Protein backbone atom coordinates (compact mmCIF):
# COMPACT_ATOMS: atom_id res chain seq x y z
CA UNK A 1 0.00 0.00 0.00
CA UNK A 2 1.27 3.46 -0.81
CA UNK A 3 2.03 5.61 2.21
CA UNK A 4 -0.26 8.42 1.04
CA UNK A 5 -3.25 6.09 0.59
CA UNK A 6 -5.51 5.91 3.64
CA UNK A 7 -7.34 2.66 4.49
CA UNK A 8 -10.59 4.42 3.52
CA UNK A 9 -9.35 5.42 0.06
CA UNK A 10 -7.98 1.93 -0.54
CA UNK A 11 -11.32 0.40 0.42
CA UNK A 12 -13.17 2.71 -1.96
CA UNK A 13 -10.75 1.92 -4.78
CA UNK A 14 -10.94 -1.83 -4.25
CA UNK A 15 -14.73 -1.67 -4.00
CA UNK A 16 -14.99 0.23 -7.28
CA UNK A 17 -12.67 -2.20 -9.07
CA UNK A 18 -14.49 -5.30 -7.87
CA UNK A 19 -17.93 -3.78 -8.47
CA UNK A 20 -17.06 -2.93 -12.08
CA UNK A 21 -15.50 -6.35 -12.69
CA UNK A 22 -18.59 -8.14 -11.37
CA UNK A 23 -21.05 -6.00 -13.31
CA UNK A 24 -18.96 -6.05 -16.49
CA UNK A 25 -18.76 -9.84 -16.35
CA UNK A 26 -15.01 -10.07 -15.72
CA UNK A 27 -15.77 -12.08 -12.59
CA UNK A 28 -18.40 -14.69 -13.42
CA UNK A 29 -21.39 -15.50 -11.19
CA UNK A 30 -20.43 -18.10 -8.61
CA UNK A 31 -16.69 -17.43 -8.88
CA UNK A 32 -14.71 -17.32 -5.65
CA UNK A 33 -13.61 -14.07 -4.06
CA UNK A 34 -10.77 -15.11 -1.74
CA UNK A 35 -9.41 -12.27 0.38
CA UNK A 36 -5.73 -13.21 0.22
CA UNK A 37 -5.85 -13.77 -3.53
CA UNK A 38 -7.61 -10.48 -4.19
CA UNK A 39 -5.22 -8.63 -1.88
CA UNK A 40 -2.24 -9.99 -3.79
CA UNK A 41 -3.85 -9.26 -7.15
CA UNK A 42 -4.74 -5.67 -6.26
CA UNK A 43 -1.59 -4.90 -4.28
CA UNK A 44 -3.30 -4.11 -0.99
CA UNK A 45 -3.66 -5.66 2.45
CA UNK A 46 -6.59 -7.92 3.23
CA UNK A 47 -8.36 -5.22 5.27
CA UNK A 48 -9.66 -3.08 2.35
CA UNK A 49 -10.57 -6.26 0.47
CA UNK A 50 -12.58 -7.49 3.44
CA UNK A 51 -14.37 -4.15 3.76
CA UNK A 52 -15.01 -4.02 0.00
CA UNK A 53 -16.59 -7.47 0.04
CA UNK A 54 -18.86 -6.42 2.91
CA UNK A 55 -19.96 -3.35 0.95
CA UNK A 56 -20.60 -5.35 -2.22
CA UNK A 57 -22.58 -7.90 -0.21
CA UNK A 58 -24.79 -5.07 1.07
CA UNK A 59 -25.29 -3.99 -2.56
CA UNK A 60 -26.42 -7.47 -3.52
CA UNK A 61 -23.46 -8.37 -5.74
CA UNK A 62 -21.55 -10.69 -3.42
CA UNK A 63 -22.70 -13.71 -1.41
CA UNK A 64 -20.89 -14.62 1.81
CA UNK A 65 -20.57 -18.25 2.80
CA UNK A 66 -20.07 -18.90 6.54
CA UNK A 67 -16.51 -19.89 7.46
CA UNK A 68 -15.30 -19.84 3.86
CA UNK A 69 -14.74 -17.51 0.91
CA UNK A 70 -17.22 -15.10 -0.66
CA UNK A 71 -18.55 -15.62 -4.18
CA UNK A 72 -19.96 -13.45 -6.94
CA UNK A 73 -23.72 -13.61 -6.50
CA UNK A 74 -25.72 -15.81 -8.83
CA UNK A 75 -29.08 -14.14 -9.43
CA UNK A 76 -31.91 -16.67 -9.48
CA UNK A 77 -35.04 -16.23 -11.65
CA UNK A 78 -36.84 -15.23 -8.45
CA UNK A 79 -34.19 -12.56 -7.73
CA UNK A 80 -34.61 -11.16 -11.24
CA UNK A 81 -38.41 -11.17 -10.94
CA UNK A 82 -38.21 -9.30 -7.62
CA UNK A 83 -35.91 -6.69 -9.14
CA UNK A 84 -38.19 -6.29 -12.16
CA UNK A 85 -41.17 -5.58 -9.88
CA UNK A 86 -39.26 -2.93 -7.97
CA UNK A 87 -37.93 -1.36 -11.17
CA UNK A 88 -41.47 -1.23 -12.55
CA UNK A 89 -42.53 1.12 -9.78
CA UNK A 90 -39.22 2.96 -9.38
CA UNK A 91 -38.43 3.68 -13.03
CA UNK A 92 -41.94 4.78 -13.95
CA UNK A 93 -41.96 7.32 -11.12
CA UNK A 94 -38.43 8.52 -11.91
CA UNK A 95 -39.15 9.04 -15.61
CA UNK A 96 -42.47 10.77 -15.00
CA UNK A 97 -40.98 13.19 -12.45
CA UNK A 98 -37.96 13.83 -14.69
CA UNK A 99 -40.30 14.85 -17.50
CA UNK A 100 -42.02 17.31 -15.19
CA UNK A 101 -39.06 18.72 -13.27
CA UNK A 102 -35.89 18.51 -15.36
CA UNK A 103 -33.58 21.49 -15.62
CA UNK A 104 -31.75 22.70 -18.71
CA UNK A 105 -28.41 21.60 -17.27
CA UNK A 106 -29.74 18.22 -16.26
CA UNK A 107 -31.27 17.67 -19.67
CA UNK A 108 -27.95 18.51 -21.33
CA UNK A 109 -26.22 15.92 -19.15
CA UNK A 110 -28.85 13.33 -20.04
CA UNK A 111 -28.47 14.05 -23.74
CA UNK A 112 -24.68 13.74 -23.60
CA UNK A 113 -24.98 10.36 -21.85
CA UNK A 114 -27.62 9.18 -24.32
CA UNK A 115 -25.42 10.16 -27.28
CA UNK A 116 -22.39 8.46 -25.74
CA UNK A 117 -24.41 5.28 -25.35
CA UNK A 118 -25.53 5.44 -28.95
CA UNK A 119 -21.97 5.85 -30.22
CA UNK A 120 -20.77 2.96 -28.06
CA UNK A 121 -23.61 0.76 -29.28
CA UNK A 122 -22.76 1.54 -32.91
CA UNK A 123 -19.10 0.71 -32.21
CA UNK A 124 -20.03 -2.58 -30.53
CA UNK A 125 -18.56 -1.43 -27.21
CA UNK A 126 -20.76 -3.51 -24.92
CA UNK A 127 -19.14 -2.50 -21.63
CA UNK A 128 -19.22 1.20 -22.52
CA UNK A 129 -22.81 1.02 -23.76
CA UNK A 130 -23.95 -0.79 -20.62
CA UNK A 131 -22.26 1.78 -18.40
CA UNK A 132 -23.83 4.65 -20.35
CA UNK A 133 -27.24 2.98 -20.10
CA UNK A 134 -26.86 2.76 -16.33
CA UNK A 135 -25.71 6.38 -16.17
CA UNK A 136 -28.76 7.41 -18.24
CA UNK A 137 -31.10 5.86 -15.68
CA UNK A 138 -29.13 7.38 -12.80
CA UNK A 139 -29.37 10.88 -14.30
CA UNK A 140 -33.10 10.43 -14.87
CA UNK A 141 -33.47 9.68 -11.17
CA UNK A 142 -31.53 12.83 -10.30
CA UNK A 143 -33.76 14.86 -12.63
CA UNK A 144 -36.79 13.68 -10.67
CA UNK A 145 -35.92 16.25 -8.03
CA UNK A 146 -37.01 13.81 -5.32
CA UNK A 147 -34.25 13.35 -2.75
CA UNK A 148 -35.77 10.24 -1.23
CA UNK A 149 -36.09 8.65 -4.67
CA UNK A 150 -32.41 9.41 -5.29
CA UNK A 151 -31.49 7.74 -1.97
CA UNK A 152 -33.50 4.65 -2.87
CA UNK A 153 -31.87 4.66 -6.29
CA UNK A 154 -28.45 4.56 -4.68
CA UNK A 155 -29.47 1.43 -2.75
CA UNK A 156 -30.62 -0.23 -5.98
CA UNK A 157 -27.85 1.12 -8.20
CA UNK A 158 -25.55 -1.90 -8.32
CA UNK A 159 -28.34 -4.39 -8.96
CA UNK A 160 -29.85 -2.15 -11.63
CA UNK A 161 -26.43 -1.74 -13.25
CA UNK A 162 -26.06 -5.51 -13.20
CA UNK A 163 -29.42 -6.06 -14.89
CA UNK A 164 -28.66 -3.49 -17.58
CA UNK A 165 -25.36 -5.29 -18.26
CA UNK A 166 -27.37 -8.37 -19.28
CA UNK A 167 -28.57 -6.73 -22.51
CA UNK A 168 -27.02 -7.99 -25.75
CA UNK A 169 -28.94 -5.87 -28.29
CA UNK A 170 -27.18 -2.58 -27.69
CA UNK A 171 -28.90 -0.74 -30.53
CA UNK A 172 -32.35 -1.49 -29.10
CA UNK A 173 -31.46 0.06 -25.75
CA UNK A 174 -29.86 3.08 -27.42
CA UNK A 175 -32.93 3.68 -29.58
CA UNK A 176 -35.33 3.44 -26.66
CA UNK A 177 -33.21 5.81 -24.59
CA UNK A 178 -33.26 8.33 -27.45
CA UNK A 179 -37.07 8.12 -27.56
CA UNK A 180 -37.31 8.54 -23.80
CA UNK A 181 -34.96 11.53 -23.91
CA UNK A 182 -37.12 13.23 -26.56
CA UNK A 183 -40.29 12.70 -24.51
CA UNK A 184 -38.61 13.99 -21.34
CA UNK A 185 -37.26 17.03 -23.18
CA UNK A 186 -40.80 17.86 -24.38
CA UNK A 187 -42.27 17.25 -20.91
CA UNK A 188 -44.67 14.75 -22.46
CA UNK A 189 -45.55 12.79 -19.33
CA UNK A 190 -48.07 10.49 -21.03
CA UNK A 191 -45.56 9.57 -23.73
CA UNK A 192 -42.84 9.07 -21.13
CA UNK A 193 -45.08 6.71 -19.17
CA UNK A 194 -45.83 4.70 -22.31
CA UNK A 195 -42.19 4.53 -23.39
CA UNK A 196 -40.90 3.69 -19.91
CA UNK A 197 -43.39 0.82 -19.59
CA UNK A 198 -42.26 -0.54 -22.96
CA UNK A 199 -38.61 -0.04 -22.00
CA UNK A 200 -39.05 -2.13 -18.86
CA UNK A 201 -40.67 -4.87 -20.92
CA UNK A 202 -37.75 -4.76 -23.34
CA UNK A 203 -35.33 -5.01 -20.42
CA UNK A 204 -36.98 -8.21 -19.21
CA UNK A 205 -36.93 -9.67 -22.72
CA UNK A 206 -33.28 -8.73 -23.15
CA UNK A 207 -32.38 -10.39 -19.88
CA UNK A 208 -34.19 -13.59 -20.86
CA UNK A 209 -32.43 -13.67 -24.24
CA UNK A 210 -29.06 -13.10 -22.59
CA UNK A 211 -29.65 -15.94 -20.14
CA UNK A 212 -30.74 -18.27 -22.95
CA UNK A 213 -27.65 -17.37 -24.98
CA UNK A 214 -25.33 -18.12 -22.08
CA UNK A 215 -27.08 -21.42 -21.42
CA UNK A 216 -26.75 -22.39 -25.10
CA UNK A 217 -23.08 -21.43 -25.16
CA UNK A 218 -22.50 -23.47 -22.01
CA UNK A 219 -24.11 -26.56 -23.54
CA UNK A 220 -22.13 -26.09 -26.76
CA UNK A 221 -18.87 -25.85 -24.80
CA UNK A 222 -19.72 -29.03 -22.86
CA UNK A 223 -20.46 -30.88 -26.09
CA UNK A 224 -17.19 -29.75 -27.66
CA UNK A 225 -15.24 -30.80 -24.57
CA UNK A 226 -16.91 -34.22 -24.61
CA UNK A 227 -16.09 -34.67 -28.29
CA UNK A 228 -12.45 -33.75 -27.71
CA UNK A 229 -12.19 -36.23 -24.83
CA UNK A 230 -13.82 -38.89 -26.98
Nearest C-alpha neighbor of 29 from the set 79, 66, 67, 95: 79
Rounded to the nearest integer, the mean pLDDT of the chain is: 90
pTM, entire model: 0.85
Q: Please say if the pLDDT value at position 26 is more than 60.
A: yes
User: Counting beta carbons within 10 angstroms of the beta carbon of residue 126, is it exposed (0 to 12), middle (13 to 18) or buried (19 or more)?
Assistant: middle
User: Counting beta carbons within 10 angstroms of the beta carbon of residue 226, is it exposed (0 to 12), middle (13 to 18) or buried (19 or more)?
Assistant: exposed
Specify the CATH number of the domain 77-216: 1.20.120.530
Hey, where are the domains in the chain? 7-72, 77-216
Q: At what angle do helices 147-164 and 126-143 cross, to 10 degrees?
A: 160
User: What pLDDT was estimated at residue 20?
Assistant: 97
pLDDT, tens digit, for every residue of 53-72? 999 999 999 998 777 789 99
Specify the CATH number of the domain 7-72: 1.10.10.10
Same fold? 7-72, 77-216: no
Q: Please say if the pLDDT value at position 213 is more than 70.
A: no
Q: How far is CA 189 from CA 175, 184, 186, 192, 208, in A?
A: 19, 7, 9, 5, 29
Interatomic CA distance for residues 49 and 10, integer angstroms = 9
Average pLDDT over residues 89-99: 97
Give the lowest-confidence range in 20-24, 62-66, 74-78, 143-147: 62-66
pLDDT, tens digit, for every residue of 105-128? 999 999 999 999 999 999 999 999
pLDDT, tens digit, for every residue of 149-159? 999 999 999 99
Q: Please say if the pLDDT value at position 1 is more than 50.
A: no
Amino acid sequence: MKNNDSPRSETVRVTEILRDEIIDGVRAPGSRLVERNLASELGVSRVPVREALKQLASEGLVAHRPNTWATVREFSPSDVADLAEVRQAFDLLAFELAAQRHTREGLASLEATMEAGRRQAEAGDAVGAHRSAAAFHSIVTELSGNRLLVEVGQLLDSRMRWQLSQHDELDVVATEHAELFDAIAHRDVDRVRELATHHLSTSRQQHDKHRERLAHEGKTAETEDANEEG
